[in-house]
Amino acid sequence: MSASPLRSIPAVDKVLQALEPVRLPRPAVVALVRRELAALRRARSIPPFEDVVARVGQALRRRVLSRLQPVINGTGVVIHTNLGRAPLGSSVVDALADLALHYNNLEFDLADGHRGGRASYLEEHLALLCRGEAATVVNNCAAALILILRHFTASKPEVIISRGELVQIGGGFRIPDILETAGAQLKEVGTTNKTTLDDYGRAVSPRTGLILKVHRSNFFMSGFVASPPTEEIAALARRKKIPLVEDLGSGAVVATDRLAARLSHEPMPGEVLKKGVDLVCFSGDKLMGGPQAGIIAGRARRVAGLKKDPFFRALRCDKLILGALQATVDLYLSRADTPGDLAVPVAEMISLQPDALAARAEALLRELKDLPAVCRAVETLAQIGGGTLPQAELPSVALDIKPAQMAASELGARLRRGDPPVVGYISGGRFRVDLRTVFPRQDADLARCLRRALSPAPFPEPPSESP
Ligand SMILES: *Cc1c(COP(=O)(O)O)cnc(C)c1O
């Protein structure tokens, strides 16, 4: 592109007229045009008018792509944090839509016509599902942890935790940082691989507010490793009158080893509470497959204390989350005997059999037969993701595509710009779409997007890098 300092910056109106229509509100388009023109002015190098229009067009397409929108998850990672973790089931979404469209009894007791407790139904049913005396819910598991830490360390600041459990959970979420944010003081005990009951016992002092256990949900340790049984830590905590809390993170409310053959058993809230832990907390949108939420369950007295904490008010969920979670919890309670048939997409995707995936792959391959690419179905291993059961490998089937006229990375980039966008991965220079995480109802869209991305017809230019 030839640039000249002599050309003048085109008028905003002129650029607006020359642009192709895009699905964006007009003020956003105008603001983006202004921003691009200002960047050119700062750079003191003004390209020809068509180039200015092309540059603005790229910025607009980039904005359109950044809009929160459905994507086809071809990564084979069931709980993909970058792709919104757990998709909700249609019955849950119906319940949500009904609530969202109308008034509701969020804090109104229909039985006696007075102000009622917020989410009392959900709390009762969550307690049932978790086999705890009581339960409540906040915005996410991080919030649950911060609430718990703040509440129990208000007068006694120390939190005892094993060095083997000082973990990093996801992007920037580290247990020691969370403790600091909550104003608690970390009292590390034991070593990375071994912690004994005696380590815990010697660390207890009048300053101890809480003993915290953190489930190693996203990594695995083996070899010379030991930690005392939870029952023994619970007995110690009870003797010393200190609450014992376990952060379970992933929150399996059905037995994971019943969902799929080769899965190990992820600790369930009810099992952990039975060992004498006072409170557990876990995420609503990991293995539970519900909306983003932080669930707290356990001793009634402890849950009541948390709910009375003024900080609880800042973390409470809105009615839509409560509605979606209520519907999800009731699905679990009513279908406890058929875990793979829950109408909870995460559970269904984990329990899918590879044969069903292979049949879908064959049908898709027939659709893609005439395209300029070598397409085949391959056996792969999908993952649960979300920092859950990191060792679990789910036998799966992927479409494996080697385009004739472009690099696999270019195909991937085109698919991300598709409608709907498709996110897959590259393996050995070939592009792959794992079918385990693609809903069967999306197969037709997937075929259409692949056809469009692989066809020689011009494709919208890639959005430029953000400035
Ligand atoms: C994922 C995870 C969290 C954070 O949960 P969010 O709901 O994302 O806030 C906390 N603790 C553990 C052990 C986790 O695995």
Residue with tokens 């983003």: 292
What is the distance between the alpha carbons of residues 232 and 380, in angstroms, rounded to a whole number? 42
The kind and range of the H/E element at 321 are: helix 319-334
Question: Are the C-beta atoms of residues 185 and 202 closer than 8 Å to each other?
Answer: no
Which atom of ligand 1 lies closest to the CA of 218?
A: 15
Q: How many CA atoms lie within 13 A of 401 on its CB side?
A: 33
pTM of the model: 0.93
In the reported structure, the alpha carbon of residue 169 is separated from the centroid of ligand 1 by a whole-number distance in angstroms of 6
Where does the pLDDT of residue 88 fall: very low under 50, low under 70, confident under 90, or very high at 90 and above? Answer: very high
Q: Note the pLDDT of residue 466.
A: 46
pLDDT in tens, 17-50: 999 999 999 999 999 999 999 999 998 888 999 9
* DSSP output for 382-438: EEEETTB-TT--EEEEEEEEEESSS-HHHHHHHHHTSSS-EE-EEETTEEEEEGGGS
Q: Note the pLDDT of residue 382.
A: 95
Q: Indicate if ligand 1 lies below 6 Å from the C-beta of 400.
A: no
Question: Are the C-beta atoms of residues 99 and 463 closer than 8 Å to each other?
Answer: no
Q: Indicate if ligand 1 lies below 6 Å from the C-beta of 315.
A: no
Whole-Å CA distances, 459 to 176, 206, 367, 410, 462: 48, 68, 21, 11, 9
Question: Are the C-beta atoms of residues 54 and 322 closer than 8 Å to each other?
Answer: no
Q: Note the pLDDT of residue 467.
A: 42
Burial of 251 (0-12, 13-18, 19+ CB in 10 A): buried
Nearest CA to ligand 1 atom 1: 249
In the reported structure, the alpha carbon of residue 273 is separated from the centroid of ligand 1 by a whole-number distance in angstroms of 18
Residues β-bridged to residue 432: 400, 425
Task: Please give the backbone phi and psi of residue 230, each rounded to the nearest 5 degrees, phi first.
Answer: -55, -35
Q: Note the pLDDT of residue 400.
A: 98
Side chain identity at residue 311, one-letter code: F
Residue 149 has pLDDT above 70, yes or no: yes
In the reported structure, the alpha carbon of residue 62 is separated from the centroid of ligand 1 by a whole-number distance in angstroms of 31
What's the mean pLDDT in 83-93?
Answer: 95
What's the mean pLDDT in 340-364?
Answer: 91
- End-to-end CA, the chain: 18
Where does the pLDDT of residue 6 fall: very low under 50, low under 70, confident under 90, or very high at 90 and above? Answer: low
pLDDT in tens, 120-136: 999 999 999 999 999 99
Residue 113 has pLDDT above 50, yes or no: yes
Residue 224 makes CB contacts below 8 A (sequence gap 6+) with 193, 194
What is the rounded average pLDDT for all residues in the chain? 92
What is the distance between the alpha carbons of residues 322 and 154, in angstroms, rounded to a whole number? 28
Q: Note the pLDDT of residue 84.
A: 96
In the reported structure, the alpha carbon of residue 142 is separated from the centroid of ligand 1 by a whole-number distance in angstroms of 6
Q: Indicate if ligand 1 lies below 6 Å from the C-beta of 278.
A: no
Least confident of 155-169, 212-226, 363-377: 212-226
pLDDT higher for 408 or 456? 408
Q: Indicate if ligand 1 lies below 6 Å from the C-beta of 215.
A: yes
What is the distance between the alpha carbons of residues 211 and 193, in angstroms, rounded to a whole number? 18
CB count within 10 Å of CB 90 equals 11
268 SS3 class: coil
Where does the pLDDT of residue 340 fall: very low under 50, low under 70, confident under 90, or very high at 90 and above? Answer: low
CB count within 10 Å of CB 362 equals 11
Where does the pLDDT of residue 251 fall: very low under 50, low under 70, confident under 90, or very high at 90 and above? Answer: confident
